[in-house]
Structure 1
Amino acid sequence: MLADDRRGRVTEVADRVHRIEHAFVNVYLVTGDDGRVLLVDTGLPAAWNVLGRALRELGRTPADVAAVVLTHAHFDHTGTAARAQAVLGVPVWLHQEDHAVAAHPYRYAHENARAWYPLRHPRSLPVLTSMVAAGALRVPGARGLRHAEPDAVLPVPGAPRVVFSPGHTAGHCALHLPDRGVLFTGDALVTLDPYTGERGPQIVAGAATADSVTALSSLDALVATGARTLLPGHGEPWHGPVAEAVARARATGAH
């Protein structure tokens, strides 16, 4: 463990892959063969200082960050994307179907009304409260993004392959590092649902998912990678066959 305080935990979860857990949202740092760093998702606005501290403890500086790749455009994953563009001058990659949401973080499709979830799922209250405290209600829009094309191998540290996995959002993509056996699942498959507080492999509740039927179908694309280390947008990493995690998610179903 590199750092552990109330503002964020940083752990190495795979070969040259570090997880930053902040306000129940995961951000990942991938170090390439040349020492440059890829940021996978950007967390909420208050994660900015945590990111800087993590880089320093890894022996890196902000100048070593070469790119950002977003699995999708929800506000809890794009919270520091615009700042990374402005301060670090790095390209931000995202599937083009989510570019409009990135520009307008609170205009996104979801199946169910959100207000009643904390009442029916009180275990979500600490999660949602922490997210609000970390800036969930003040995320700036991000524009001028590059298109992460499905099946493409992006020219960024780690050379992740884009795995199109829509449902949570129209442009959701997972990212596969085949040489490291790692799959960044974003919110296509999580091990903590912020809206219910439930743990274990699952898709995110309809409070934030645009189409749960499509989301469950997209799990096939995750299985096809054969990955054995799954790094979700929320919750603990999953170590084991991706097919087993997907089977559990399908058994849990939609909320």
Structure 2
Amino acid sequence: MRLDEHLYRIGNDIVAAYLVVTPEGVTVIDAGMPGQFKDLLAELTAIGRSLADVRGAVITHGDADHIGFAERLRTEAGVPIFVHGADAARAKGGDKPKNEMPKMKLGPTLGFFAYGLRKGAMRTRPLTEVVEVADGDVLDLPGAPRVIGMPGHSPGSIAIHSPVAKAVFVGDALTTRHVTTGRTGPAPAPFTDDPAQALASLERIADLDAAWVLPGHGGPWHGSPADAVAAVRAAA
């Protein structure tokens, strides 16, 4: 789905990934669930591109619903996968802390798990090789994505700012649709390792010059990061 001139989304409000598209090629942001690989191929075809145009995939954090098709992209197309060093082990299948269970409503929770089953969540392959990145890195990829450390949801959670796409991709640093309650609007994401730290990290994106704030779960936020951050704090 086209959001802007250089900006596309695959998936939906349950689980989303994004494409930054420039004449030099395509950068994938997050890799959703394994079955969304077909969505990626369909979107690339629709915009006249192919896997050969994908120069890299940047993962906002190492949770299973963000690395879904990344290993396939790496092994079948030779695409490098970029992950913050503090989440590299997590992305490779390492242990994840047991978080406090969030509030749940039956419908949205079942919808999340049903979508995961349809999209092959049980077949997620951990990454076996990553390119580690750090806060402040500007990657040599289409859209010149800049890494912004956002610890809290996980130690190596990051946001990615692409000026050409006028967007900041935030993974689970915030959500606009709570996966277990269905609540919409900017809010803290569930299943967060350190909620207080995650809220504090939002200050790192508040002053960015961007027209889109794009989470891994929920609809795109078309507005300023400052307003999105204020809405999250109000909902916390």
Q: SS in structure 1 opposite 2:214?
A: strand
Structure 2 counterpart of 1:7: none
Equivalent in 56, 59, 63 of residue 67 of structure 1: 56
CA distance in 2, matches of 1:179, 1:140: 31
State the Cα distance separating 1:226 from its structure 2 match.
3.4
CA distance in 1, matches of 2:229, 2:91: 27
User: What's the TM-score once normalised by structure 1's chain length?
Assistant: 0.87
CA distance in 1, matches of 2:183, 2:109: 8
Within 5 Å, which residues of 2 pair with 1:218-229?
218-229=201-212
Structure 1 counterpart of 2:44: 55
Equivalent in 84, 88, 94 of residue 95 of structure 1: 84
8 Å Cα contact 2:7/2:165 also seen in 1: no
Structure 2 counterpart of 1:15: 5
Q: SS in structure 2 opposite 1:191?
A: strand
Q: SS in structure 2 opposite 1:156?
A: coil
Structure 2: where are the runs of 5+ without partners?
A: none
CA distance in 2, matches of 1:129, 1:152: 37
State the Cα distance separating 1:228 from its structure 2 match.
2.4
Equivalent in 103, 109, 114 of residue 124 of structure 1: 109
Equivalent in 119, 126, 137 of residue 141 of structure 1: 126
Asked if 1:31 is matched to 2:21, the reply is yes
State the Cα distance separating 1:245 from its structure 2 match.
1.1
User: What's the TM-score once normalised by structure 2's chain length?
Assistant: 0.94
State the Cα distance separating 1:121 from its structure 2 match.
5.4
Q: SS in structure 1 opposite 2:159?
A: strand
CA distance in 2, matches of 1:17, 1:235: 16
CA distance in 1, matches of 2:151, 2:123: 26
Question: Where has structure 1 moved over 6 Å in runs of 4 or more?
Answer: none
Structure 1 counterpart of 2:177: 192
Structure 1 counterpart of 2:163: 178
Structure 2 counterpart of 1:113: 101
Q: Which amino acid aligns with 2:198?
A: A
State the Cα distance separating 1:156 from its structure 2 match.
0.8
Structure 1: where are the runs of 5+ without partners?
A: 1-10
Identity of aligned residues (%): 35
CA displacement 1:218-239 (0-9 Å, x = unmatched): 1101103132211111111111
CA distance in 2, matches of 1:14, 1:102: 30
CA distance in 2, matches of 1:20, 1:153: 24
CA distance in 1, matches of 2:15, 2:199: 21
State the Cα distance separating 1:23 from its structure 2 match.
7.5
Q: Which amino acid aligns with 1:141?
A: P
State the Cα distance separating 1:54 from its structure 2 match.
1.0
8 Å Cα contact 2:173/2:198 also seen in 1: yes
The range that moved more, 178-187 or 12-21, is: 178-187
Q: SS in structure 2 opposite 1:231?
A: strand
8 Å Cα contact 1:176/1:184 also seen in 2: yes
Aligned pairs, number: 236
CA displacement 1:32-60 (0-9 Å, x = unmatched): 232x1111111101111111111111101
Equivalent in 170, 184, 187 of residue 202 of structure 1: 187
Q: SS in structure 2 opposite 1:51?
A: helix
8 Å Cα contact 2:13/2:217 also seen in 1: no
8 Å Cα contact 1:228/1:240 also seen in 2: yes
